[in-house]
Structure 1
Amino acid sequence: MIGYVTIGVSDMAKAKDFYSGLLSDLGAKVLLDMGRIAFIGKSMAEPMLAICTPFDGESNHPGNGNMTALPAGSKEAVDQLYQKAIELGAICEGEPGQRIPGQFYGAYVRDPDGNKLAFFQFG
């Protein structure tokens, strides 16, 4: 149902390194790079993450309450993505843990531009 989610960034090269490195273990890579916007995912036929510098030329601003949630595939993968994000320069917004007993396991970070990400596993 979702084609792609776009995250505003201030430095495309830095953002491509961060997200390519972070999501590589999930099989994602830069699929389309158009300069000020790049699409990262497994294929153009699956949901993707787009990173871009704002079209209006103004500074990017992470939204308060906005978050992109990425399915990790397992609790162990949540832990690994969280740790990798921290190693790549993300800031902790909630260490990995069970949020809803038996139903939702997640971890939260902010990328180098302040955008909030969640890594999660249902069940």
Structure 2
Amino acid sequence: MIGYVTIGVSDMEKAKTFYTELLGGMGAKLLLDMGRIAFIGESMKGPMLAVCTPFDGAPNHPGNGNMLAFWPGSKEAVDTYYQKAIDLGARCDGEPGQRIPDKFYGAYVKDMDGNKLAFYHFG
């Protein structure tokens, strides 16, 4: 259903490196780089993350309430991806933990541009 989600960034090279390294363990790679926009995912036929500098040339601004959520497959993987994001330069926006007993486990970070990311596991 989702083709791709786009987030605005201030430094394309940093963003491409951050997201390809962060999501590489889930099979993601740089699929298409068109200069101002780059697509990252497993294949062009699956859901992708696009990073781009804003079309209007104005500074990027993360939206209040916008968030990208990634499902890495287990609670342990949530912890791993959270720590990997921190190691790659993201900042904590909610340490890994059980949010809803027996239902939702999550961790939250903000990338270098302030875009909010979640890693989650149901159960």
Does TM-score exceed 0.5, indicating one fold?
A: yes
Runs of 4+ in 1 over 2 A off after TM superposition: none
Provide structure 1 residue ranges, at least 5 long, that are not aligned to the other structure. Answer: none
State the distance in 2 between where 1:121 and 1:45 align.
Answer: 24
Aligned-pair distance for 1:44?
1.0
Per the alignment, residue 122 of structure 1 pairs with 122
State the distance in 2 between where 1:3 and 1:104 align.
Answer: 25
SS in 2 for 1:99: strand
SS in 2 for 1:46: coil
Letter in 1 for 2:53: T
Encode CA deviations 1:57-116: one digit per residue, 9 max, x unaligned.
110001111111111111111000000000000000000011111111110000001000
With the length of structure 1 as denominator, give the TM-score of the two structures: 0.98
Per the alignment, residue 6 of structure 2 pairs with 6
Per the alignment, residue 108 of structure 1 pairs with 108
Per the alignment, residue 65 of structure 1 pairs with 65
Tell me how large the CA RMSD over aligned residues is.
Answer: 0.6
Amino-acid identity (%): 76
Per the alignment, residue 95 of structure 1 pairs with 95
Provide structure 2 residue ranges, at least 5 long, that are not aligned to the other structure. Answer: none
Per the alignment, residue 24 of structure 2 pairs with 24
State the distance in 2 between where 1:10 and 1:114 align.
Answer: 10
